[in-house]
Amino acid sequence: MSLWWLLACAGSTPTGPAGDGDDGGRDSDPLVADTGAPDAWAPLGFVAPPDAVDIDPADDVVHVQLRAGGAVHRVEHAGGTLELAGYAYVDRNGAADDREVLAPGPTLRAKLGDTLRVELDNGLDAATTIHWHGLEVPWEMDGVPWKSTTIAPGESFTYEFVLTQAGTFWYHPHVDTERQVDLGLYGVVVVADPSEPAADQDLVVVLDDWTTGRTDDGWDETDASGAHGAHGGEGLWAVNGRVTPTLAAPAGSRLRLRVLDASNTGYLALQADADAGTPLRLLARDQGLLPTVQAPVQERLVPGDRVELEVDLGTAPWSLWDAPYEHHGGAGFGAAARVLTVQPDGDGAAPEPLPLSFPGGAVADDPGQTDALYVFSGDTGTGQWFINGEQFPDVTIESLDPGQDAVIEVRNLSPTAHPFHMHGHRFEVLSENGVPSSARRIEDTLDIGLYGTARLRFNADNEGEWMVHCHLLPHAEGGMMTVLRVGDPL
C-alpha cells in the first residue's frame, strides 16, 4: 500500500475505491496533509490480522469464505487521521474487523495435508483473482488470467487444493496486480507441520512500504518508475498496517514471527537490535525450514519474500530494524530504522529455543545444462521492462517435459535488482553470480542483484502454463513477465 493513497484521500470524504485504476488519488490535492517524519507517528500496539474462520468441521479440510471489497483504511497520526479509500479481503464468517487498516486480510491457517477451500466473492468494482504465492497448486487454481478467466464483479469462485508444503505463503490478486495489491489485497497462508513444536505465539508480520517519497505525478508515475527512493523518499514500513508498533509478550516466551514483504517495490535489510549486533534467529525462508537454523546479521527481504524468525524473549526488549537498501542501488548510507519492538512483560528468563528438527541436506549438484534462460533487462527511465527482449503478453513460451529435472538460468542485464518469481514450482538455488550456495536453499522468490545471475534447479512435476516474472509489481506490469509450459496442460 502506498502512502500516496493516504495523502490523496486525507481531508476529502473517501467514496470507495477508485474505479479502474489509474485515476485513483489524483483528483484531490495530494498535499493536504503532511505525514511528518516517521517518529511523529504515535506509538501503537501491534495488531495481527484475524485468523479466518474454518466452516468445515472435518479435521483435514479448511473451508473459508472471503469477500474482496472496497474499504476505507484509517491511520491515526500525530497530525490527525489519514484515510485511504482502498480494497480489503474480509472473512464473511468472522467477527467485525475493527482494525484501522484492513490489510493484511485474514490469515488462512491450515496444516500439511489439509485441503484448503476458499470461496471468494468479488465485491470489487473490477475483475480479480487470487494467486497462491509459493504454493504448488494445480494450474487452474493458480489465479492467473493467462488462458483462464477472471472473477467478474458480483461473481464468485471457489479455489480448492491440497497443501503439500509447510511454511509461510501468501495470497494476492493476479490481475491489475500492481494496483489491487497496493490498495490492500493481500493476506498470509500459514501451513503448519503438526510434528513441529508450537511456539507460544505464532504471529504474522506483514510489512508494506508506505513510502514518504512523493512526486508531482501521482501514483502511476511513482510506482511505474519503481523509483520511490530516487525521488528522495525514505521507506516508511507499516507492520500489519501500523508504523513501528510494539508487541507486549510475556518474558520467557517463544515467538515465531512469519514475516512477509507485501510491498510493491520495497526492499528490506532486516536486522535484530542493530546496536547490540544481535543476529537474527532465522528458521525458514520462502519454503519452510532451512537445513539448519541460521543467524545472519542482516537478511534481505524483497517483494514476495518470506522469512520466519524465532524470538526467545527474556527481560530485554527485542527490536527488528531495517537498514537502508534500494533495489536500484544496493546497500545505502544512513542509520537502520526500527520496524517492530517486542516489549517483555514480567521477569521470565529467555527460554531454550524451540526444539525443531531442521531437515539438513546438501546443496544439489549443478548438472551443467540450461533448460530455460531468462535475461532481464530494461530501465527505470522508460519504465519498459523485458524478459529475453520480450514484454508480456507477447512472449515466447518455453516448454519443459513433465517430470523433467530442469535448470533455469537468470541473468540480469539491468542496473536494478529484480525479485525472480516462478509459479507452480519451488526451486533450489544452485548458485548466485557463479558462487555455489553454501547451504541448501529452496525458494520461490529470489532477488537477482544488479547485473547478477542465478542458476535454479527444480523438478518440473506440476503440469501447467506458469507465470515467471519480476515481483516488483510495476516491472511485472511493465512487461517483465513470461510463461513457462510444463507438459501439455490444455
Q: Which residues bind ligand C2O (CB under 6 A)?
A: 131, 133, 172, 174, 304, 421, 423, 467, 469, 471
Q: 10, 64, 204, 472: which one contacts Cu ion (CB under 5 A)?
A: 472
Q: How far is the CB of 19 from ligand C2O (least distance, A)?
A: 24
Q: Is 27 left (phi over 0), alpha (psi -120 to 50) or beta?
A: alpha
Q: Which is nearer to ligand C2O, 135 or 340 (CB)?
A: 135
Q: How far is the CB of 285 from ligand C2O (least distance, A)?
A: 15
By CB under 5 A, residue 224 contacts Cu ion:
no
Q: How far is the CB of 450 from Cu ion (least distance, A)?
A: 11
Q: Which does 423 bind (CB under 5 to 8 A by kind): ligand C2O, Cu ion, none?
A: ligand C2O
Are the C-beta atoms of residues 112 and 60 closer than 8 Å to each other?
Answer: no
Element (H, E) at 258: strand 254-261
Q: Give the sign of the dihedral formed by CA 50, CA 264, CA 218, CA 77.
A: positive
Q: 475, 483, 484, 487: which one contacts Cu ion (CB under 5 A)?
A: 475
Are the C-beta atoms of residues 371 and 400 closer than 8 Å to each other?
Answer: yes
Query: Per the structure block, which three cell numbers stand in for 118?
Result: 476458499
Q: Which is nearer to ligand C2O, 5 or 170 (CB)?
A: 170
Binding string, residues 363-402; x marks residues near Cu ion by CB under 5 A: ----------------------------------------
Buried b (16+ CB within 10 A) or exposed e, 174-213: bbbbbbbbbbbbbbbbbbbeeebeebebbbbbbbbbbbbb
Instruction: Identify residue 152 by its one-letter amino acid code.
Output: A
Residue list 299-328, contact with Cu ion (CB under 5 A): none
Q: Which does 133 bind (CB under 5 to 8 A by kind): Cu ion, ligand C2O, none?
A: ligand C2O
The span from the CA of 349 to the CA of 359, in Å, is 29
Q: Which is nearer to Cu ion, 179 or 418 (CB)?
A: 418
Are the C-beta atoms of residues 193 and 284 closer than 8 Å to each other?
Answer: no
Query: Per the structure block, which three cell numbers stand in for 444?
Result: 520461490
Q: How far is the CB of 423 from ligand C2O (least distance, A)?
A: 6
Q: Which does 418 bind (CB under 5 to 8 A by kind): ligand C2O, Cu ion, none?
A: Cu ion
Q: Which does 470 bind (CB under 5 to 8 A by kind): Cu ion, ligand C2O, none?
A: Cu ion
Q: How far is the CB of 378 from Cu ion (least distance, A)?
A: 7
- 328: nearest Cα among 388, 244, 412: 412
Q: Which does 472 bind (CB under 5 to 8 A by kind): ligand C2O, Cu ion, none?
A: Cu ion
Q: Which is nearer to ligand C2O, 243 or 302 (CB)?
A: 302
Q: How far is the CB of 476 from ligand C2O (least distance, A)?
A: 7
By CB under 5 A, residue 470 contacts Cu ion:
yes
Q: Which is nearer to ligand C2O, 49 or 304 (CB)?
A: 304
Q: Which is nearer to ligand C2O, 205 or 302 (CB)?
A: 302
The span from the CA of 177 to the CA of 141, in Å, is 17
Q: Which does 469 bind (CB under 5 to 8 A by kind): Cu ion, ligand C2O, none?
A: ligand C2O
- 91: nearest Cα among 124, 120, 57, 129: 120
The span from the CA of 414 to the CA of 391, in Å, is 15
Binding region for Cu ion (CB under 5 A): 418, 470, 472, 475
